[in-house]
């Protein structure tokens, strides 16, 4: 019987194996050998999909970014303006175990990307995409004529992106002062307004998904 392999599915499984090891034990533990073992494939099979560890790490970082966007798309639905912006931010903010694991991978990735232009470019592209979406929603909010935001949209996006990235670091290494409640209060403070009643301040994505 010939072996039929779904290459996309296999590739995703390898990425998920790399993410599990990195979240659990760190980037140094995530050797190509360990990842192959975790995924239950031969070293050679892993090498067929990813040239080296950096290529796999970049795929893993992209995967986290895509997953965040996928969750955000579900949470956002048909919403727009500040509601959509809030929901994207809540998916980026590390407020539950899944996203704290993502933070662990992201911070590990950054440690390596700090000296790797190709890896850095991936982060830059992610920031540029989020910024672009944020600016669209901020413009929608402004066009509604009901905006209470007094600052340039670019500055609000600067603040949001810096805060979102800083939270990834501090949730891992200063967790007592980086609780979900305080993360949401920070978001609302940057957006300068009270929390809309339809959003549950505590539970983030689960609540916003369930509410739609």
Spatial distance between the Cα atoms of 61 and 198, rounded to a whole number of angstroms: 32
Closest among 126, 102, 104, 98 to 173, alpha carbons compared = 104
CB of 201 to a second copy, least distance (A): 14
Spatial distance between the Cα atoms of 98 and 107, rounded to a whole number of angstroms: 14
Q: Which two tokens stand for residue 133?
A: 């979406």
Which CB sits closer to a second copy, 25 or 43?
25
- Is 173 a residue that touches a second copy (CB under 8 A)? yes
CB of 132 to a second copy, least distance (A): 11
Task: Please give the size of the binding site for a second copy, defined by CB under 8 A.
Answer: 46
Torsions phi, psi of 107, nearest 5? Answer: -65, -40
Centroid of chain to Cα 65: 5
Q: Pick out residues in 20-39 that bind a second copy (CB under 8 A).
A: 25-29
- Is 115 a residue that touches a second copy (CB under 8 A)? yes
Spatial distance between the Cα atoms of 142 and 117, rounded to a whole number of angstroms: 36
Which CB sits closer to a second copy, 73 or 121?
121
Tell me if 58 sits within 8 A of 169, measured CB to CB: no
Tell me if 33 sits within 8 A of 82, measured CB to CB: no
71 CB-contact burial (10 Å; exposed 0-12 / middle 13-18 / buried 19+)? buried
CB of 63 to a second copy, least distance (A): 18
| Distance in Å from the first CA to the final CA of the chain | 47
- Is 108 a residue that touches a second copy (CB under 8 A)? yes
CB of 91 to a second copy, least distance (A): 17
Pattern 132-171, a second copy, x by CB under 8 A: -------------------x---x--xx-xxxxxxx-xx-
Spatial distance between the Cα atoms of 59 and 2, rounded to a whole number of angstroms: 28
Pattern 68-107, a second copy, x by CB under 8 A: ------------------------------------x--x
Candidate list 90, 190, 191, 208; residue touching a second copy; CB under 8 A: 190
Footprint of a second copy (CB under 8 A): 25-29, 104, 107-116, 120, 123-124, 127-128, 131, 151, 155, 158-159, 161-167, 169-170, 172-174, 176-178, 182, 185-186, 189-190
């Amino acid at each position: 019987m010939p072996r039929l392999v779904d290459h996309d599915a296999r590739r995703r499984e390898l990425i998920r194996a790399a993410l599990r090891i990195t979240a659990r034990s760190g980037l140094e533990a995530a050797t190509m050998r360990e990842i192959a073992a975790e995924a239950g494939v031969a070293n050679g099979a892993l090498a067929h999909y990813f040239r080296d560890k950096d290529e796999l790490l970049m795929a893993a970082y992209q995967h986290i970014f895509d997953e965040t966007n996928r969750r955000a798309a579900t949470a956002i639905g048909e919403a727009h303006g500040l509601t959509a912006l809030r929901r994207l931010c809540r998916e980026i903010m590390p407020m539950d175990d899944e996203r704290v694991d993502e933070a662990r991978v992201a911070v590990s990735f950054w440690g390596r990307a700090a000296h790797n232009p190709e890896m850095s470019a991936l982060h830059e592209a992610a920031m540029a995409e989020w910024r672009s979406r944020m600016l669209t929603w901020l413009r929608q909010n402004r066009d509604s004529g009901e905006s209470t935001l007094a600052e340039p949209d670019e500055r609000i996006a600067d603040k949001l992106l810096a805060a979102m990235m800083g939270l990834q670091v501090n949730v891992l290494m200063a967790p007592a002062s980086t609780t979900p409640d305080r993360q949401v209060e920070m978001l609302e403070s940057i957006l300068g307004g009270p929390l809309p009643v339809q959003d549950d301040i505590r539970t983030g994505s689960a609540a916003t998904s369930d509410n739609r």
